[in-house]
């Protein structure tokens, strides 16, 4: 049985109710409520571009849902002071006890550098941030003198914190390359794997995670592996659904080096796509680039085509270590994709995944 999660989109239409809020937030709450009602394990909110603050959206979701898990997928790990990052998730756990998940990852370049936070020595920086955040969430007083994090005798001091009250917030690393996967296995509670990669990529990632777990002498029994999955289904016109994901894949190959590296496309194809698409890419550029991308490559790295084809593909990622398929629905009717996948995945409505 497949556990499903949902990557919340600020641009999706509100179809599931939710409060009438400005700025797209009503849509965000409605999507989360829909996912909860339809048996999804969790919802995730990303923060990359300077478009939406994920913490605002997560807070609204926490206040307007009852049982679904809520995570940042991901929050750029150096955009908040480590102590304030910890107290933010302490506060969110007070709002939705036991349901919060803190996902941390790298910020996109060149945006990170433009904002004064270049992705310099990311493994060391991630280790320092997580070490301090985990210590504070345990209720400890933390002193840490590092290259990226420097705190002195910091500790939560709310009304219930005198007795060292702890907050059960699992920390996930949004990892792509193997060094970060290994770090996740060593110090995090889970790894959030990226989309647009074949199931064989998961084997490499999980091998790295196990190396990290061996370093810290921990068991993998409770280690969580949610994974982003680009998806589109259309049982009447499956090629349309494949093209939805092909368009997405084409743009990411051209603009995201890690996707170009791990999606399985030959270097010559990557070069041709990158030559075809300008920056920023126009719709016409992407359409020209799509002509270079095969259905076979697209369906190797995305859950698309008929509903059955998409679910079979998700089972492949599940068989290669994924514990929660976090759907990023694509196409003109994203909720139709979600409806079809949720219905055929046999989810238990109002109460988790069967």
At residue 8, φ and ψ (nearest 5 deg) are -70, 135
Closest CA to 16 of 65, 50, 62: 65
253 and 315 in a single domain? The answer is no
Distance separating alpha carbons of residues 39 and 304, to the nearest angstrom: 21
pLDDT tens-digit series, residues 62-116: 999 999 999 999 999 999 999 999 999 999 999 999 999 999 998 877 888 999 9
pTM of the model: 0.93
- Measured over all CA atoms, what is the biggest interatomic distance in the chain, rounded to whole angstroms? 62
The CATH number assigned to the domain holding 182 equals: 3.20.20.30
161 and 286 in a single domain? The answer is no
Using a 10 angstrom Cβ sphere, with 0-12 exposed, 13-18 middle and 19 or more buried, the burial of residue 303 is: buried
The fraction of the chain above a pLDDT of 90, given in percent, is 79
At residue 300, φ and ψ (nearest 5 deg) are -75, -30
Whether residue 149 is preceded by a cis peptide bond, meaning omega within 30 degrees of 0, is: no
289 and 174 in a single domain? The answer is no
25 and 36 in a single domain? The answer is yes
pLDDT tens-digit series, residues 282-321: 999 999 999 999 999 999 999 999 999 999 999 999 999 9
Which two three-digit tokens encode residue 254? 């051209």
Closest CA to 167 of 104, 218, 97: 97
- 17: which strand partners? none
Give residue 286's domain range: 239-305
């Amino acid at each position: 049985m497949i556990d499903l999660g949902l990557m919340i989109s600020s641009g999706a239409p509100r179809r599931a109710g939710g409060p009438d809020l400005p700025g797209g937030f009503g849509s965000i709450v409605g999507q989360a409520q829909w996912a909860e009602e339809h048996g999804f394990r969790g919802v995730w909110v990303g923060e990359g571009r300077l478009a939406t603050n994920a913490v605002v959206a997560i807070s609204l979701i926490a206040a307007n849902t009852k049982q679904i898990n809520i995570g940042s997928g991901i929050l750029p790990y150096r955009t908040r002071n480590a102590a304030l990052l910890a107290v933010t998730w302490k506060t969110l756990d007070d709002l939705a006890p036991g349901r919060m998940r803190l996902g941390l990852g790298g910020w996109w370049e060149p945006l990170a550098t433009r904002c004064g936070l270049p992705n310099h020595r990311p493994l060391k920086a991630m280790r320092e941030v997580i070490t301090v955040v985990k210590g504070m969430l345990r209720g400890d007083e933390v002193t840490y003198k590092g290259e990226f994090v420097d705190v002195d005798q910091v500790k939560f001091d709310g009304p219930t914190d005198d007795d060292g009250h702890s907050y059960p917030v699992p920390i996930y690393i949004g990892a792509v390359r193997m060094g970060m996967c290994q770090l996740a296995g060593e110090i995090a509670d889970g790894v959030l794997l990226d989309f647009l990669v074949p199931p064989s990529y998961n084997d490499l990632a999980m091998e790295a995670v196990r190396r990290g777990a061996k370093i810290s002498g921990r068991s993998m029994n409770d280690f969580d592996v949610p994974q982003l999955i680009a998806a589109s289904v259309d049982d009447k016109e499956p090629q349309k659904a494949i093209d939805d994901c092909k368009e997405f894949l084409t743009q990411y190959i051209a603009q995201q080096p890690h996707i170009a590296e791990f999606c399985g496309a030959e270097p010559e194809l990557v070069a041709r796509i990158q030559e075809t698409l300008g920056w920023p890419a126009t719709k016409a550029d992407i359409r020209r680039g799509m002509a270079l991308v095969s259905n076979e490559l697209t369906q190797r790295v995305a859950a698309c085509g008929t509903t059955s084809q998409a679910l079979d593909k998700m089972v492949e990622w599940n068989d290669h270590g994924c514990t929660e398929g976090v759907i990023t629905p694509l196409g003109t009717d994203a909720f139709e994709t979600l409806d079809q996948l949720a219905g055929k995945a046999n989810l238990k409505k109002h109460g988790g995944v069967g």
